[in-house]
A and B are shown apart, each in its own frame.
Chain A
Amino acid sequence: MSAATDPAVDPAAATARSTYREALREALREALRADERVFLMGEDVGRYGGCFAVSLGLLEEFGPERVRDTPLSESAFVGAGIGAALGGLRPIVEIMTVNFSLLALDQILNNAATLSHMSGGQLAVPLVIRMTTGAGRQLAAQHSHSLEGWYAHIPGLRVVAPATVADARGMLAPALASPDPVLVFEHAGLYATEGDAGGAAVGLDGAAVRRAGTDVSLVTYGGMLPTALAAAEHLAGEGTSAEVVDLRSLRPLDEDTVLASVRRTHRLVVVDEGWRSGSLAAEVAARVAEHAFYDLDAPPERVCSAEVPVPYAVHLERAALPAVDDVVAAARRTVG
C-alpha cells in the first residue's frame, strides 16, 4: 500500500478552502499544538508523511516523540495507544487502512471497547484511531473494503465518518475530547476533494441534512456522500426532490434526524459502500421500519456493494460499487 501524494502544501492555505487531506492535517496540527498529551503514531506517519500524505510536515514541526513512526505491528501499536490513553495521554493512532485494522481488531474490541464497562467504570480509554476505508482505485480485495459497519456494531466505540472538508477539519477535536475510544473513517476517495474547512469544532453525533428535499430521503455517509448528492441532482432534473442525509456518526446513529427526514419524504434509500448483508444500511432500514413504518409510502431500498470481495479489473470494480445510476434507479422505484 502506498501514498497518493499531495504536492506542495501550504499550511496557511488550510483555513478557508482546502482539501479534505489538508483539513485533516490542520486538525492534527491544532491538536498537537493545543495539548501536549496528544501524539500521533502509526506506520510511516512521520518521515514518510503518512501513506496518504495526511501528516506530511508534522514530524518536522513536532518531532519524533509526538509524531511517532511505528513498526508494522498493528496489534502492538493500537494496543499501546490504549495503554497510553489509560496512562493519561491522548493518542491519535493512524492505521493505514481498515483492511489492516483487522490485525488490531482484538485490541480494539477486547480492550478499547470493553475496558470501561468491564472495570465497572473505573477505566476510560480516550483514544482516537484514524483509518482509511473504501474502494475505487483498483486496489483489489485486500485494500478496498468498507468495514466501518463492523465497528459500528460494537458497543463501547464511537464511530465517525467525516464526508466533508469541514467535518474532516472539525471532528478531531471533539473526538479527542471524548472520554471514549473514537474511530475515524476517512474514505480514500475523499482526500483530494475540496471544500470549506470552516475551522470550528463540529459535534460528533448529529447527522446532517446536506440537501433538502421532499420526495425521497437518501441516507448515506462517508465516501458515498458525493454519489448520493450527484444522484439527488440527477433526480431533480427528473422532477424528483431528494433529501440527502449524511449520517456523520455511525455509532451512535442519529436516529432522530433520519426519522424526521423520512417523515417528510415518506421514502427511504440507504446508500452504503459496505456489503448489503448485515450492513449499516440494514440497521438504518430496520430502524426506519421499526419507528416510521406507517410514514413510509414504499418499501425501503438499499444501494450497497455487490457481495463479492472487491475485484481489480476496472469494469468489475465499478460494477461492484454503488454508482449514481443505482441510487437514481432505487429512488425511482420508491417514488414510482
Chain B
Amino acid sequence: MTAPVDVRRTLLHEMVRIRRFEERCVELYSTERIRGFMHLCIGEEAVAVGVLGALAPEDAVVSTYREHGHALARGVPMTSILAEMFGRASGCSRGRGGSMHLFDAARRFYGGNAIVGGGLPVATGLALADALAGRSAVTACLFGDGAVAEGEFHECLNLAALWRLPVVFCCENNRYAMGTALEREHAQTDLALRAAAYGMPAWPVDGMDVQAVAAAAERAVTGVRAGSGPCFLELRTYRFRAHSMYDPDRYRDRAEVARWKDRDPVDRWRDLLVADGDLDEDGWARIVADVDEEIEQAVAAAEAAPVEPVEELTRFVYAEPS
C-alpha cells in the first residue's frame, strides 16, 4: 500500500521543514535571538508529520512545550512561529508565550502546554464539546512518556473512554523524561498496554517511520471519528538532542544515541524514496532549497517585526470586547 509519489514527497518535505527549522533555531538561540527554554523534536519529525497529517482542518490539537514540529505540521505559519520565539508582536502568541507556548486558534492548535500532563484534560474537554455539539471533529492530544506517570493521564484516559470521547491520545515515547529513562520511570514500560487497560484501542507504532505513523494515525482518526471512542498510539521515537538547550545530557549513553541516529526518520525516508525511484538528486536539492528559502524569509520577517508596545503588557489577561 504505497502512497502516491506526491504524498510521499510531501511527507519528506514536511519532515525536512521541521528538521532544518529547528537546526536554524539552534543557531538563533546561540546568538540569543531566541531565549528561555527551547525543546527540540529533532529525531521525532516522523511523529509530527505522520500524526498531524492525518487530521482534518476541523480537528483540534493539544501539544506540549516540544511543539515546533506539531505547529509546523499543523500549518501554523513558520513566520508567526519564529516571530513568537523572537518575542515579537507578530508572533502567534503576540510574544507572550515563546517557544513553549505556540497557539493558533484559527487552526485549532490549542498550544504549547509546559506543565507535563497539563494538556490531557484540555484535550478531553475539547472532545467533549465537539461530541456534544454533534461535530465530527477529533482532538489529537500529544504528550510524552513522562506524562504517563502523572495523574492527569490516568484520569483523562478513564474519562474519555467512559464518555466515548473523540480523542486520539498520542504518546511520543522518546524513552526519556528529561534525564530519567523509561525503565526508571515506569514499572510497566509497555505504555500501550496501560492505555488499553482503560478500555480503548491502543498499540505501539514505529515512530521513526513516517509511513507507519501516518498509517496508524489514519486508522486511529478514522475509528475515533466514526464514534468508537478514544484511542491511544504509543509512538516509539527518540530525541537526538538534549532535553532542552540547558541540558548537558549527562545521562545518555553516546552509543545509544548513535544507534537511534542510524534510524534517522528523515534520512531513511529520503533514501527509501530514492531507492523507489520517487526522488532524485535534483528533487532532493529542490526540497532543501525550498525549505531554506522559507526559513530565511521567516528569519528576516521575525528580525524586522516590531515588539509589542510595553504599554500593552496587561492586555489579554481577560477577554477583550471584540
* B251: Cβ under 8 A from any A Cβ: yes
CB within 8 Å for A316 and B179 given contacts A103-B150, A308-B313: no
Do the beta carbons of B317 and A307 come within 8 Å of each other?
yes
B residues in contact with A71, CB < 8 Å: 146, 149, 177, 180, 185-186
Choose among A73, A75, A313 the residue with the greatest number of B CB atoms under 10 Å from its CB: A313
Do the beta carbons of A140 and B313 come within 8 Å of each other?
no
Do the beta carbons of A1 and B307 come within 8 Å of each other?
no
Query: How far apart are B176's CB and chain A's nearest CB, in angstroms?
Result: 10
Do the beta carbons of B36 and A2 come within 8 Å of each other?
no
Query: How far apart are B31's CB and chain A's nearest CB, in angstroms?
Result: 14
Tally the A-B contacts, defined by beta carbons under 8 Å: 137
Complex Cα distance, B313 from A307, in Å, reads: 9
Bits for B86-120, please: 1 = Cβ < 8 Å to A, else 0. Answer: 01100001011110110000000000011111100
B98 to A, closest residue via Cβ: A312
Do the beta carbons of A142 and B114 come within 8 Å of each other?
yes
Bits for B25-44, please: 1 = Cβ < 8 Å to A, else 0. Answer: 00000000001110000000
Bits for A251-289, please: 1 = Cβ < 8 Å to B, else 0. Answer: 000000000000000000000000000000000000000
Complex Cα distance, B250 from A1, in Å, reads: 16
Do the beta carbons of A141 and B147 come within 8 Å of each other?
no
Complex Cα distance, B251 from A69, in Å, reads: 13
B residues in contact with A43, CB < 8 Å: 177-178, 180
Do the beta carbons of A138 and B95 come within 8 Å of each other?
no
The range of chain B's interface size is: 35 or more
* B248: Cβ under 8 A from any A Cβ: yes
Interface 9-residue window, one of B2-10, B202-210, B239-247: B239-247
CB within 8 Å for A2 and B246 given contacts A72-B117, A142-B113, A313-B308: yes
* Residues 56-89 of A at the B interface (beta carbon under 8 Å): 69, 71-76
How many residues on the A side are at the interface (Cβ–Cβ under 8 A)?
40
Bits for B281-322, please: 1 = Cβ < 8 Å to A, else 0. Answer: 000000000000000000000000001101001100100000
| A312 CB contact (under 8 Å) in B96, B118, B251 | B96
* A311: Cβ under 8 A from any B Cβ: yes
* Residues 284-336 of A at the B interface (beta carbon under 8 Å): 306-309, 311-316, 319-320
Query: How far apart are B96's CB and chain A's nearest CB, in angstroms?
Result: 5
Complex Cα distance, B91 from A78, in Å, reads: 38
B residues in contact with A139, CB < 8 Å: 36-37, 98, 100
* B134: Cβ under 8 A from any A Cβ: no
CB within 8 Å for A142 and B100 given contacts A71-B185, A315-B310: yes
| B149 CB contact (under 8 Å) in A5, A44, A72 | A72
B178 to A, closest residue via Cβ: A44
Do the beta carbons of A319 and B310 come within 8 Å of each other?
yes
Do the beta carbons of B87 and A73 come within 8 Å of each other?
no
Summarize A's interface: helix, strand, loop or mixed: loop
A96 to B, closest residue via Cβ: B178
Bits for B143-176, please: 1 = Cβ < 8 Å to A, else 0. Answer: 0001101110000000000000000000000000
Do the beta carbons of B87 and A99 come within 8 Å of each other?
no
Do the beta carbons of B114 and A72 come within 8 Å of each other?
no
Do the beta carbons of B95 and A143 come within 8 Å of each other?
no
* B184: Cβ under 8 A from any A Cβ: yes
B residues in contact with A44, CB < 8 Å: 178-180
Bits for B266-285, please: 1 = Cβ < 8 Å to A, else 0. Answer: 00000000000000000000
CB within 8 Å for A142 and B116 given contacts A48-B250, A311-B313, A320-B313: no
Bits for A1-35, please: 1 = Cβ < 8 Å to B, else 0. Answer: 11111000000000000000000000000000000
Do the beta carbons of B186 and A99 come within 8 Å of each other?
no
Complex Cα distance, B307 from A315, in Å, reads: 9
Do the beta carbons of A142 and B36 come within 8 Å of each other?
no
* A49: Cβ under 8 A from any B Cβ: yes
* A51: Cβ under 8 A from any B Cβ: yes
Bits for B225-268, please: 1 = Cβ < 8 Å to A, else 0. Answer: 00000000000000000111111101100000000000000000
B residues in contact with A75, CB < 8 Å: 151
Complex Cα distance, B101 from A306, in Å, reads: 20
Do the beta carbons of A316 and B310 come within 8 Å of each other?
yes
Which residues of A approach B to under 8 Å, CB–CB?
Answer: 1-5, 43-44, 47-49, 51, 69, 71-76, 99-100, 103, 137-143, 306-309, 311-316, 319-320
Jot down 28 A-B pairs with beta carbons below 8 A, ordered by A: A2-B242, A2-B243, A2-B247, A3-B247, A3-B248, A43-B180, A48-B251, A71-B146, A71-B149, A72-B116, A72-B146, A72-B147, A73-B150, A74-B150, A75-B151, A99-B115, A138-B98, A139-B36, A142-B100, A308-B313, A308-B314, A311-B95, A312-B98, A313-B307, A314-B35, A314-B87, A316-B95, A316-B308
Contacts A44-B178, A139-B36, A308-B317 aside, 14 further interface pairs with beta carbons under 8 A come to A1-B244, A2-B37, A73-B149, A140-B114, A311-B96, A311-B313, A312-B84, A312-B95, A313-B88, A313-B98, A314-B35, A315-B307, A316-B310, A319-B310
